[in-house]
């Protein structure tokens, strides 16, 4: 139940900050790329 409630809150928050979500794709792409690289690095370090 807690997870579902949290998801609902996240969705509501994203809806409230629609402008932030509709930011230039360049920024989003850069952030996503960085996060992917970070996750890959952590995965490799884990062995």
Q: Rounded CA gap, 7 and 17, in Å?
A: 15
21 contact partners, CB below 8 Å, separation of at least 6:
14
Give the DSSP letter string of 11-26: HHHHHHTHHHHTS-HH
Domain ranges of the chain: 2-46
Q: Please provide the size of the chain in residues.
A: 47
Judged against a pLDDT cut of 70, whether residue 14 lies above it is answered with no
> What is the average pLDDT across 10-18?
66
Judged against a pLDDT cut of 60, whether residue 47 lies above it is answered with no
In the DSSP assignment, the letter for residue 1 is -
Q: Is the pTM of this model over 0.75?
A: no
pLDDT at residue number 17: 63
> What is the average pLDDT across 18-45?
65
pLDDT band per the 50, 70, 90 thresholds, residue 41? confident
């Amino acid at each position: 139940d807690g997870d579902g409630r949290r998801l609902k809150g996240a969705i509501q928050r994203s809806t409230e900050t629609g402008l932030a979500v509709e930011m230039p794709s360049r920024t989003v792409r850069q952030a996503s790329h960085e996060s992917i690289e970070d996750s890959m690095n952590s995965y490799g370090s884990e062995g």
